[in-house]
Amino acid sequence: MRRMAFLIYSVFLVVSSLSAQNWDIDALHRINSWDGKFVRNYNRIVSRSEPYVAVGVPVAMAVAAWAKHDRGLLKDAVYVGTSVAGAFVVTYGMKYLVGRERPYDKYPDRVHAYSHESSPSFPSGHTATAFALATSLSVKYPKWYVIAPSALWACSVGVSRMNEGVHYPSDVLVGAAAGASCAVLNIYVNRWLNRWLFGK
């Protein structure tokens, strides 16, 4: 727990220094300026797909496990679902702890918002849950045809949040790290959870 607190504090210091150097806003300005009908539509669709995919995949796995009476698949569904839920809780806790202003509010002259959010900016919750899903699926099914599409989708979510103007690059990077870390740490949590839910 002490190591996690130190990690979060270290990340916050790095983010603060990057913000002071204007790296964040310069990079965001460039990504937010990517235009064209395909780019805008792709990023809008990917950004809005995140909650449905992040929740839908573990739910679909659980329904399939129930229909097939497949205990192993149900355990996988619990692991994937709790990884996504853990990433959501951690990132939303960090958002209100840090309280970073959205880039379109702080820099209205440099960032155009293609969507608006009510929560603070740091870190990106969409990116965190996308990376938690991608990492947990890759852990359970370490095949290229699972890893490649899930990683591509998770990275696309992160880029889309910047292209939409709702997150700084540092929000997305920390969100990705938090989501992947939650999925990895959840391997150990699920050992206990599986004993509690399923017995031996």
In a domain, 137, yes or no: yes
Other C-beta atoms within 10 Å of 105: how many?
11
Residue 80's contacts (CB-CB under 8 Å, 6 or more residues apart) are: 57, 58, 61, 133, 136, 137, 140
Write out pLDDT tens, residues 24-48: 999 999 999 998 899 999 999 999 9
The pLDDT score that the predictor gives to residue 156 is 97
Write out pLDDT tens, residues 139-162: 999 999 999 999 999 999 999 999
Nearest to 80 by CA among 127, 134, 151, 149: 134
In a domain, 99, yes or no: yes
State CA 68 to chain mean position distance: 30
For residue 194, what pLDDT band results from cuts at 50, 70 and 90? confident
In a domain, 23, yes or no: no
Number of domains in the chain: 1
The domain that holds 57 is classified in CATH as: 1.10.606.20
For residue 173, what pLDDT band results from cuts at 50, 70 and 90? very high
* pTM score: 0.86
For residue 11, what pLDDT band results from cuts at 50, 70 and 90? low
Write out pLDDT tens, residues 46-68: 999 999 999 999 999 999 999 99
* Average pLDDT of the chain, as a whole number: 89
Residue 2, pLDDT above cutoff 70: no
For residue 8, what pLDDT band results from cuts at 50, 70 and 90? low
In a domain, 11, yes or no: no
Contact between 153 and 53 (Cβ < 8 Å): yes
Contact between 70 and 64 (Cβ < 8 Å): yes
How far apart CA 169 and CA 69 sit, in angstroms, is: 43
In a domain, 166, yes or no: yes
Range of the domain at 68: 33-198
For residue 191, what pLDDT band results from cuts at 50, 70 and 90? confident
In a domain, 91, yes or no: yes
Nearest to 77 by CA among 188, 173, 182, 190: 190
In a domain, 20, yes or no: no
Alpha helices, H only, 35-124: 37-68, 71-98, 103-106
Write out pLDDT tens, residues 53-109: 999 999 999 999 999 999 999 999 999 999 999 999 999 999 999 999 999 999 999
